[in-house]
Structure 1
Amino acid sequence: MGKNISVDGRVVWDPALRVAQLFQAQLAAVEEVLGVASGVDEPIDDEIEIDWPVFEAFVRHLLETLATTGHPVMHLLLEGLAETCVGVHHAATDSRIDAPTAVDDLVDRAIKLPFRPS
């Protein structure tokens, strides 16, 4: 049993329960540290809705932070969440997010991951 993550009522990712819980926990921590909302709502039953404009701004801010941080541990901590968010973005839009060139490799990896629901 997992969660359905949706944009405008369309499921874009259906991670397993524990994966969804970890994703949400990481989002909450990074929202607090960066001071930016993610746009990913709290689950209702097994459904999680994404406020798309807020999420897209969050992902861009996260990628910009990754591209400019000089702290290697901060970069490492943010990298996994950023790759997940880029994968969700790609699953929702079927397009490559415009990102700083410093994170091109991360974006390239993320868009190859199987985020689309089964």
Structure 2
Amino acid sequence: MSYYFEISGETVWDPALRIAKWYLALAESTAELMQVPTGLTPSEQDTCEIDPRAFQGFVEGLYEVYFSTRHPVQHGLIKGLLLASLVVLERTGTVIRPKTEAEKSLWEEKQALARSM
């Protein structure tokens, strides 16, 4: 069973229901810690509407948190959510461009993940 992430009725990601629930739970709890909205509005019809501007703010904040530290545990905890969020953000038409070599290495992982999403 799929779950649809949409912008104005257009599907940008359709993961399995379990994956969607994991993603939404991680995004909501992380956004609460960062004190920003996710831009994600789940419904009971197994869909989630994405507010592009709010979602962009969430992903940019997550990106900033990730690259503001070298803490390996923090990186490990955030990385999966960040990678998936970057892929979805790109599918909304917004791309965050890497500025440093450390950021560029994350892009290779994002591209690999995007092929399986």
Q: TM-score range by the shorter chain?
A: 0.7 to 0.9
Given the superposition, is the C-alpha separation of residues 115 and 54 from structure 1 closer, same or farther in structure 2, using an over 3 Å criterion?
A: farther
Name the structure 1 match of 2:115: 114
* Residue 108 (structure 1) shift: 3.0
- Contact 1:66–1:103 (CA under 8 A) maintained in structure 2: no
- Contact 2:52–2:92 (CA under 8 A) maintained in structure 1: no
Aligned partner of residue 97 in structure 2, secondary structure: coil
* Residue 33 (structure 1) shift: 1.3
* Residue 114 (structure 1) shift: 2.7
TM-score (norm 2): 0.87
Deviation string, structure 1 residues 34-89 (Cα, Å, up to 9, x no partner): 11111011223121100100001111111111111232211110011000000111
Name the structure 2 match of 1:34: 34
* Residue 97 (structure 1) shift: 1.8
TM-score (norm 1): 0.86
| Matched length | 115
Aligned residue type for 1:25: A
* Residue 92 (structure 1) shift: 2.4
Q: What CA distance in whole angstroms lies between the structure 2 residues aligned with 1:15 and 1:84?
A: 11
Give ranges in structure 2 of 5+ residues lacking alignment. Answer: none
Give ranges in structure 1 of 5+ residues lacking alignment. Answer: none
User: Which of structure 1's runs of 4+ aligned residues deviate more than 3 A?
Assistant: none
* Residue 99 (structure 1) shift: 4.1
Tell me: higher relative CO, structure 1 or 2? Use CA pairs within 8 A at least 6 residues apart: 1
The two structures, once aligned, show a CA RMSD in angstroms of 1.8
Deviation string, structure 1 residues 10-48 (Cα, Å, up to 9, x no partner): 100000000000000100110111111110112231211
Aligned partner of residue 41 in structure 1, secondary structure: strand
Residue correspondence of structure 1 range 1-118 to structure 2 within 5 A: 1-93=1-93, 96-101=95-100, 102-112=102-112, 113-114=114-115
